[in-house]
A and B are shown apart, each in its own frame.
Chain A
Amino acid sequence: MNNPEMNRDTPQVPHGFRTLVKRQMETVNLSLRTVASEAGISPAYLSRLLSGERGLPPDDTLILKLAEVLRVDPPERLLVEAKRVPDLLLPALLSAHEAVSRADLKEAMKQLQAVILNQRKKRGRR
């Protein structure tokens, strides 16, 4: 939890988090007002969050609630974007048969990390 990359105490909301929330709002076709209402926050706070004027609360409840409202799959992806989880220690082999850009690779790593966190949670529940 002492990872300097993690955004638990710093007020600045990471760019990736804001981008994913905005992209999902478009994908699931929900207005800022609806998202805020379903997540139990004010539209003004959500708007400031997305513009980077306000920070996220220290616990993960709001992030996971937003992930649920925005149907982020898996929901842990929003935690990864908010830099709330440390990098995992895993060996992984990627199968791609066309040239993959650095950005594609970074995106795949984040998604894989979210999938693994989700699986860990499921295994914990069993």
Chain B
Amino acid sequence: MKTISGLLASFIHWLRRPERFIQKLQAVYPHCQTLPFHHQEEAAANQGVEVLETTFGPKIEGITTRDEGQVMIVLRRGLNPLNRQFVIAHELGHVHLHLPEMREPDTQLSLNRNDHRDIEADAFALVWLMGSLPKERLAPEVLLYVLNNRGMAWRAVRVICYVSWYHQRIRLANRLERALLGLQAKGTA
């Protein structure tokens, strides 16, 4: 019984993740300074984030980390200028949404990759960058960006899926929560 309740609670927690993400995004966004599209590095600096470059393999675009209280975004050297703006915005998403909840790992430098956090950082970047573009330049810039970046369409689809099931997920979470409460009430009775 305890196991079922535990599993159900974990599932509800997972269902509610987009809700927590949107709450965080709403809390962070008004505090983010809106700067022109091509000034993302300045936006990072204004938030006390260092942007550095180094030689990473071709598949790795950037890494966000924290050392001695300093937050750093380390980018792959040689990113095209447009992609560079997007990667900084994506990494800023990690800085605001995910880094605060990451504790220092026990043993060594550990890299987390390819999970829901990436989708959330993409969503953050899209909101952040679109807010910084004048309307007349929005379509050409975004089109240029998508044409310049293989895999961007897939990333956009992932963001849309993540957000589009929002209401269904929350409705299901609410129902399951009621069921869980019922289960717990039966258990104690």
Closest to A73 in B: B55
Q: Chain A interface: which of B1-9, B12-20, B90-98, B179-187?
A: B90-98
Is the pair B57, A108 in contact by a Cβ cutoff of 8 Å? yes
Contacts of B63 in A (CB 8 A): 92-95, 108, 112
Q: Number of B residues contacting the other chain (C-beta, 8 Å)?
A: 43
Known A108-B57, A119-B70; contact A91-B50, beta-carbon cutoff 8 A: no
Known A108-B60, A120-B67; contact A94-B112, beta-carbon cutoff 8 A: yes
Q: B87: which of A89, A95, A104 is its contact (CB, 8 Å)?
A: A95
Contacts of A94 in B (CB 8 A): 60, 63, 111-113
9 A-B pairs whose Cβ atoms sit less than 8 Å apart in the complex: A90-B104, A92-B109, A92-B110, A95-B63, A95-B87, A96-B59, A98-B59, A105-B111, A108-B60
Is the pair B104, A95 in contact by a Cβ cutoff of 8 Å? no
Contacts of A30 in B (CB 8 A): none
Is the pair B65, A92 in contact by a Cβ cutoff of 8 Å? yes
CB within 8 Å of B: which residues of A? 73-74, 87-100, 104-105, 107-109, 111-116, 119-120, 123
A123 to B55, CA, bound (A): 21
Is the pair A95, B94 in contact by a Cβ cutoff of 8 Å? yes
Q: Chain A interface: which of B26-34, B35-43, B114-122, B134-142?
A: B114-122
Is the pair A119, B67 in contact by a Cβ cutoff of 8 Å? yes
Is the pair A100, B52 in contact by a Cβ cutoff of 8 Å? no
Task: Quote the shortest CB–CB distance from B118 to chain A (angstroms).
Answer: 7
A97 to B3, CA, bound (A): 36
CB within 8 Å of A: which residues of B? 50, 52, 54-57, 59-68, 70, 72, 74, 87, 90-91, 94, 98-99, 102-114, 117-118, 121, 151, 155
A90 to B105, CA, bound (A): 6
Is the pair B66, A91 in contact by a Cβ cutoff of 8 Å? yes
Task: Quote the shortest CB–CB distance from A95 to chain B (angstroms).
Answer: 5
Q: Which of A94, A98, A104, A114 has the largest count of B CB atoms less than 10 A from its CB? A: A94
A105 to B60, CA, bound (A): 9
Q: Which of A89, A92, A93, A109 has the largest count of B CB atoms less than 10 A from its CB? A: A93
A97 to B118, CA, bound (A): 9
Q: A104: which of B54, B60, B65, B121 is its contact (CB, 8 Å)?
A: B60
Q: Return the 4 tightest CB-CB contacts between A and B, nearest first.
A: A87-B108, A91-B102, A92-B65, A94-B113
Is the pair B64, A92 in contact by a Cβ cutoff of 8 Å? yes
A119 to B104, CA, bound (A): 18
Is the pair A88, B57 in contact by a Cβ cutoff of 8 Å? no
Closest to A115 in B: B54
